[in-house]
Structure 1
Amino acid sequence: MRPRLLAALAAVLLFAGAARAAEPALPPAPARWVFDETGFLSPAARATLDGELEAFERAQGSQVLVAIFRQLPAGVTLEEWTQRVAESWRVGRARQDDGVVLFIFLADRLVRIEVGYGLEGALPDLRASRILREVLLPGLRTGDHDGAVLATARAIVAAIRGEYEPGPGAERHGDGVPLWLLLLLAIVVLWVLTAAARRGGGPGAGASGWPGGFPPGRIGGGGFSGGGFSGGGFSGGGGSFGGGGASGRW
């Protein structure tokens, strides 16, 4: 019985080792904030974008990278691969997890914004999806590679700063509450308060001090401090990723 158990264990270990060996190797961390193994961007655009992302890290502390590959490795999904790469590059600061990577895979025509744990409030999935849909994908489809990638990276930076302004159609596709719905809710609340006052009572305040106990919602990210930059090129700070972000195809 014991020889059979040992043989089974050896087979499991052999299978696991073979499966691990079959996994594609992760690319090494880049030396700069823009990694383009294909020459997809012009030298001028690459230099401009790299300088802007370096300056952003100096001022803000958060790390934003752009990574352009020829194709997605065989045998992996887009989301699985980009999360593993972002983790291995250690994008973002440790314990703050404030890293973002914009991935582009040319042969597959796939794109993804991979967002670290700490920025999922400033750059939630719907906002990342909107940036892809409204900024990156239209430019890629028309051949404006430089303009599309530059504008997308700048939109990501603006979102981290809490300054991103969505384009037209935000009420239909946005990650916020449509204006008409806010107005309708305000009318309903006003009617309830008026009716309660006429009855001589009033709606009770909850523990938070707001009617019904619910404080008004807050929108946006923010709260990021500077520091963490050592100069001399990109160096990962130990950030973590949990699968937040958005994907697209052009």
Structure 2
Amino acid sequence: MTLFLLLAGAALAGCGGPAERVAEAPWGASMKRSVAPPFPLPALTGRVVDNADLLIADQEAQLSAALATTERLTRHQFVVVTLPSLGGRSIEEVGLALGNGWGIGRKDYNDGVLLIVAPNERKVRIEVGCGLEAALTNSEAQAIIDQRILPLFRKGRMAAGIFRGSAAIIREIDEPGVTP
């Protein structure tokens, strides 16, 4: 199978650097649209938005329950999104638009996380709000993609890669001292 291209990072609006010029406002309202997106976004239908149909209903429910438990325990919002297409945009641009447009994470803490999978473009990204950058750094996000997600994706095991990557992200953001 062709290798999955990857991008990982936490260059986010409001965190400093060039991302501030891309996005109109930092993410962090509640789970609702907080900023008019530069292009149409998929609907935020829950903690798992599987528009690329990579998960069966039971898997989606199981993952959604794990994300809900994580949010209840840590207060950090984590959403998994799969997209059939990036619409000619970079995965970074799509990630920022989703984080900002959906308002992932609490407004005053900017503590949201997105796992974005675009199988047709063979791209995956972990988008991290500024408030969680200490708990989930760029290098940790890259390691999760390289060591947990991509090996399974290369074997055609997309759901397993999403689950393993999500579990690794949850472990990172669930560390003691991370919740403000």
- Flag whether TM exceeds 0.5 (same fold): yes
Q: Select the residue among 172, 176, 180 that pairs with 1:159.
A: 172
CA distance in 2, matches of 1:44, 1:54: 15
CA RMSD in angstroms, aligned pairs only: 1.4
CA distance in 2, matches of 1:143, 1:223: 34
Select the structure that is richer in helix. Answer: 1
1:208-229 deviation line (CA, Å, top 9, x unaligned) = xxxxxxxxxxxxx73305xxxx
Q: How much does 1:57 deviate? A: 0.8
CA distance in 2, matches of 1:127, 1:223: 15
CA distance in 2, matches of 1:223, 1:123: 10
Whether the 8 Å CA contact 1:160–1:222 is kept in 2: the answer is no
Q: Structure 2-normalised TM-score?
A: 0.75
CA distance in 2, matches of 1:24, 1:59: 33
Which residue of the partner structure matches residue 4 of structure 2?
Answer: none
SS at match of 1:107: coil
Whether the 8 Å CA contact 2:85–2:118 is kept in 1: the answer is yes
CA distance in 2, matches of 1:65, 1:37: 13
> Any stretches of 5+ residues in structure 2 without a counterpart?
1-37
Whether the 8 Å CA contact 2:135–2:178 is kept in 1: the answer is no
Which residue of the partner structure matches residue 115 of structure 2?
Answer: 102
Whether the 8 Å CA contact 1:122–1:222 is kept in 2: the answer is no
Which residue of the partner structure matches residue 41 of structure 2?
Answer: 26
Verify: 1:44 aligned to 2:52, yes or no.
Answer: no
Whether the 8 Å CA contact 1:82–1:114 is kept in 2: the answer is yes
Verify: 1:133 aligned to 2:146, yes or no.
Answer: yes
Number of aligned residues = 143
CA distance in 2, matches of 1:122, 1:223: 6
Verify: 1:113 aligned to 2:68, yes or no.
Answer: no
Q: How much does 1:47 deviate? A: 1.0
Which residue of the partner structure matches residue 81 of structure 2?
Answer: 67
Q: How much does 1:31 deviate? A: 2.4
Q: Percent identity?
A: 31
Instruction: State the one-letter code of the partner of 1:160.
Output: I
Tell me which structure has the larger Cα radius of gyration.
Answer: 1
Which residue of the partner structure matches residue 203 of structure 1?
Answer: none
> Any stretches of 5+ residues in structure 1 without a counterpart?
1-22, 163-220, 226-250
CA distance in 2, matches of 1:141, 1:98: 30
Verify: 1:222 aligned to 2:177, yes or no.
Answer: yes
